[in-house]
Structure 1
């Protein structure tokens, strides 16, 4: 598949003129194509692509495909990116079709729903295996004008939905339960029935917002995540623990009573898509008018407690700020998980709360909360001596977090210093992003 992808990308590039090769790939996909004197277009393309990995080629292909609406290129890229993921099997796709019976589109036309992701007219028909009359005409005739001629299972076979990428199939199912197609009880019953089938392969249609009061559902891997939605983030602590109270307990609005200068509080709604760096920067620009990303980054660095933490934080943004752009998840340092109001300190016999503060937290799509801890010797010792009690408290707190749905990853501080640290950090985040399907 990677070889096919290379050929497809090379074909796109070689169709350009020399002048276009010097500008268009950089503009469209961030690909620099060298122009040594005397090189042919083919030699220039080979030079530009020679050191790219399969994943690099796939990400490049997605950008070119989006620019030119090239379905074949898009599918080839997604097949490479999905190669290591659990598959959505033919059996599950068949059973999804059977759940839908002979009505994919509900209140919309089948043509309107299908052609958003499966081109139904020349020159793409051969890619999806159709022949003869325009597939668009056939779908309109047998699904829209004469309901019942074709079942959804028949339709899937005709348009190639049984063999397409998981992402394309998922997008089609999202359209089937979109409020423009189905609403009310019909929508909720369809989602419940489809999720019963999708769950066998580890996928689901998850509530991901609303449109005019109607639920919107997104197709995604079935990940457990943390119940509920985050309401306040107390983070970037750089001094004494602040005292916090409620300005409005009904709305869960909090206010810093003392120590305001020692931490930040993000109190905007955080939805199913998690918290992005761009959203945090926008919030910061309102907290401090005129402040930008660089200013926010400098403020967050002030809360970092060690060279190891600073290395992890700096490497994350250096490696992914440009690659992910607006999709970059925020990496929040020094985040309070449990918070003791000041009045609680006066209560006798209260149990101490373990893991009151986390080194780093990421809020990813699908209610996924990622905790990253950087362990220095204080995680295992007390008064300079090894301590089984300190270690036991740490692993106990880890268990509680995991049982609540958090993912916890630990680095020894020594791992994050020295020449190999940057590769170790980027290797971790690459695998984390693949696990959670965050595409670069």
Structure 2
């Protein structure tokens, strides 16, 4: 049963209509249970939640977690810094990234005709893909609703733009990350490489302002001696092992989660 899959309390049979029983299930859930049920609904292979309803559910779940706030002004500055042509080397991948976060098929007529030139998807095809230069990055962000969306959605969208699934080009990734970080760094955030996917850099947006947890860069372990360690940079946690280097293991690749 879907109710069991979503972790909903199941009322006894014969206690009302289906809608009444569903309402009773939801009322019986604590607040954190509602969020968990919403996440299970989004992940369920048996239910397809689409369009504005899916976006609303995602926002409810994402906004409940840790969020890096990105102001409207910073978003417009980011749009001015992002070269849209860099993202259009693979239009199919770029379109998949867009439809992952925004409601592109907003023309109800398309339900009967199968396609639409007036939907957001149709306008993107016309003004971004076919007639490049019609829309600037800021205009695209405006049409998507990215300038007013919640910060949780916007930050995920920003990460998706430079993800290898969207942009399988390390040089283009680096150029975009540099341009984006030029804007984000003064605002207390930046994109940091946290690993690799399919051989390409994978970036995550991290807070760098006051009180932000820094990514661990060096971990020394598996040693029976006390190595002679010199800090080259306390801020960046750059070290040099002066003596006993051959008797320690040093891990210096960035991790996804900071150690606490």
TM-score (norm 2): 0.70
* TM-superposition CA deviations, 1:305-325 (whole Å, max 9, x none): xxxxxxxxxxxxxxxxxxxxx
Give the conservation status (yes or no) of the 8 Å contact 1:62–1:74.
Answer: no
Cα 1:166–1:69 shift into 2, 3 Å: farther
The question of 1:34 aligning with 2:33 is answered no
The question of 1:272 aligning with 2:246 is answered no
Indicate the residue corresponding to 1:120 in structure 2: 104
Among 1, 20, 24, the residue aligned to 1:43: 20
The question of 1:162 aligning with 2:147 is answered yes
For residues 89 and 184 of structure 1, what CA distance do their matches in structure 2 show? 28
For residues 63 and 7 of structure 2, what CA distance do their matches in structure 1 show? 22
Per the alignment, in what secondary structure is the counterpart of residue 164 of structure 1? coil
Give the conservation status (yes or no) of the 8 Å contact 1:106–1:176.
Answer: no
For residues 115 and 62 of structure 1, what CA distance do their matches in structure 2 show? 19
Indicate the residue corresponding to 2:180 in structure 1: 194
Map 1:176-191 → 2, pairs under 5 A: 176-179=161-164, 181=167, 183-191=169-177
Give the conservation status (yes or no) of the 8 Å contact 1:202–1:221.
Answer: yes
Among 33, 39, 63, the residue aligned to 1:82: 63
TM-score (norm 1): 0.44
Cα 1:96–1:56 shift into 2, 3 Å: farther
The question of 1:95 aligning with 2:77 is answered yes
Aligned length: 226
Among 170, 195, 198, the residue aligned to 1:209: 195
* TM-superposition CA deviations, 1:319-372 (whole Å, max 9, x none): xxxxxxxxxxxxxxxxxxxxxxxxxxxxxxxxxxxxxxxxxxxxxx1xx222xx
For residues 82 and 108 of structure 2, what CA distance do their matches in structure 1 show? 26
Q: How far has the Cα of 1:99 moved from its partner? A: 0.8
Q: How far has the Cα of 1:152 moved from its partner? A: 1.1
Q: How far has the Cα of 1:194 moved from its partner? A: 0.8
Q: Which consecutive unaligned segments of at least 5 residues does structure 1 have?
A: 1-22, 126-130, 235-242, 255-267, 274-364, 371-440
**Structure with bigger gyration radius:** 1
Indicate the residue corresponding to 1:24 in structure 2: 2
* TM-superposition CA deviations, 1:268-303 (whole Å, max 9, x none): 998623xxxxxxxxxxxxxxxxxxxxxxxxxxxxxx
Cα 1:189–1:183 shift into 2, 3 Å: same
Cα 1:86–1:212 shift into 2, 3 Å: closer
Per the alignment, in what secondary structure is the counterpart of residue 102 of structure 2? coil
Give the conservation status (yes or no) of the 8 Å contact 1:107–1:182.
Answer: no
Map 1:26-425 → 2, pairs under 5 A: 26-27=4-5, 29-67=6-44, 68-80=48-60, 81-82=62-63, 85=67, 87-103=69-85, 105-109=87-91, 110-122=94-106, 133-179=118-164, 181=167, 183-222=169-208, 223-225=212-214, 227-232=216-221, 244=224, 250=246, 252-253=248-249, 272-273=255-256, 365=257, 368-370=258-260
For residues 171 and 145 of structure 2, what CA distance do their matches in structure 1 show? 30
For residues 204 and 39 of structure 1, what CA distance do their matches in structure 2 show? 52
For residues 255 and 15 of structure 2, what CA distance do their matches in structure 1 show? 53
Cα 1:207–1:140 shift into 2, 3 Å: same
Q: Which consecutive unaligned segments of at least 5 residues does structure 2 have?
A: 110-115, 227-243
Give the conservation status (yes or no) of the 8 Å contact 1:111–1:140.
Answer: no
Q: How far has the Cα of 1:69 moved from its partner? A: 4.0
* TM-superposition CA deviations, 1:226-268 (whole Å, max 9, x none): 5414354x8xxxxxxxx9369x9548359xxxxxxxxxxxxx9
Per the alignment, in what secondary structure is the counterpart of residue 244 of structure 1? coil
Give the conservation status (yes or no) of the 8 Å contact 1:178–1:217.
Answer: yes
Indicate the residue corresponding to 1:355 in structure 2: none
Q: How far has the Cα of 1:49 moved from its partner? A: 1.6
Map 1:7-22 → 2, pairs under 5 A: none
